[in-house]
Amino acid sequence: MSRPAVTDASPRWPAWLAPLASERPGRGDLRRAETTILVLIGLFLLVATINDTVRKIDTNHRLIADLHTWRTITGHDYRNLSVEQDLKGYSTREIVCGNTRPGPPGEHVQICLVMTGPVVHGLRSTHGGYYLPPRAQDLPRNRYGCFGAAASGGFCGPTGVTAKPKSLSYEGE
């Protein structure tokens, strides 16, 4: 079956790729099916892109609120805070750690607060936390002084002593 190709495009394109001068005889079912499949793939990619963008914006909004909450609760306006997200469970739980007194990150005792729930008035709920000694990795065996949900949630290792610090809790309104 020969294809009626456009004469001026023939030298530039192979015969099977050249544009047609007229529609082939028949109902065009194959063209409709191909177009439908391409439109469906395009819609799928559009929905996936929008979903990914919205999720990223929501995560960034939550992380900004986490940093603001830590600064509000502790009363320290430190900029070098570390944030650990729950990437395995896809939850909205983050742990924000920062020094209890001024200095380079990790040089002094750190307080880590567990943030959960939605952002309310620019802040998130804090239901517990723990302390880390200077220059220690954030591992359960190094955590001590667990309080609130961190004590009951198994955030501290077997040697982690549970204690309630002086009013370091905030519940979003």
Q: Model's pTM, two decimal places?
A: 0.62
94 domain residue, yes or no: yes
As given in the structure block, the two tokens for residue 83 are: 């944030």
35 domain residue, yes or no: no
Identify the domain containing residue 110 by its residue range.
Answer: 53-152
103 domain residue, yes or no: yes
Tens digits of per-residue pLDDT, 83-105?
A: 888 767 677 788 899 888 888 88
Q: What's the number of domains the chain is made of?
A: 1
Tens digits of per-residue pLDDT, 3-53?
A: 554 555 446 778 777 777 776 776 667 778 888 999 999 999 999 999 989
Tens digits of per-residue pLDDT, 97-149?
A: 988 888 888 888 999 998 888 888 888 888 888 998 988 888 888 888 888 87
44 domain residue, yes or no: no
